[in-house]
Amino acid sequence: MTGPAGFIPPYPPRPVDRLPMFETMRRFRRSMLEVWRARHFEDPFFVTKFFRRQVAVCNSPEIVREAFIDLAGPLERKSPQMRQALRPLLGDGLFISEGALWRARRRAVAPVTHASRMPALAPVMTEVAAEFATRWQALPDGAEIDVLAEMAEMTAEVIGRTLFGREVGQRAALTVVDAFSAYQAHVGQTSLASMAGLPDWLPGLPKPRLLLASWRIRRVLDGLIAAALAQAGGAEASLVRAMQDGQVMSRAALRNEAATLFMAGHETTANTLAWAWYLLSQVPEAAARVTAEARSALGGRPAGLGDLRSLRFTQAVIEETLRLYPPVPVLAREATTEITLAGRRLPRGTLVLVVPWLLHRNPKLWPEPDTFRPERFLEGTPPRYGYIPFSIGPRVCSGQQFGLTEAVLCLATLAQHVRLELRPGHVVEPVSRLTLRPGATLPMQVYQRDAA
The pLDDT tens digits for 391-426 are: 999 999 888 999 999 999 999 999 999 999 999 999
Q: Which one is predicted more confidently, 116 or 322?
A: 322
326 φ, ψ (degrees, to nearest 5): -60, 130
pLDDT at 4 over 60: no
Q: Indicate whether 188 pLDDT > 70.
A: no
pTM tops 0.85, yes or no: yes
Sequence-distant (≥ 6) Cβ neighbours of residue 314 within 8 angstroms: 290, 293, 294, 408, 411, 412, 415
Q: Which residues lie below 8 Å from residue 51, measured CB to CB, with a gap of 6+?
A: 21, 192, 195, 196, 197
Give the length of the chain. 452
pLDDT at residue 2, rounded to an integer: 44
State the pLDDT confidence band at 282, using cuts at 50, 70 and 90.
Answer: very high
Q: Spell out the domains of the chain, with CATH numbers in brackets.
A: 2-448 (1.10.630.10)
Most confident of the ranges 133-137, 159-163, 193-197: 133-137
DSSP string, 45-61: EEEEEETTEEEEEE-SH
- Tell whether the model's pLDDT for residue 259 goes beyond 80: yes
pLDDT 10s digits, 287-322? 999 999 999 999 999 999 999 999 999 999 999 999
From CA 441, how far away is CA 204, in angstroms rounded? 30
pLDDT band at 112 (very low <50, low <70, confident <90, very high): confident
pLDDT at residue 360 tops 60: yes
Q: Per residue in 173-183, pLDDT tens? A: 777 777 777 77
* Other CB atoms within 10 A of residue 128 CB: 28
Average pLDDT value for residue range 142-153: 96
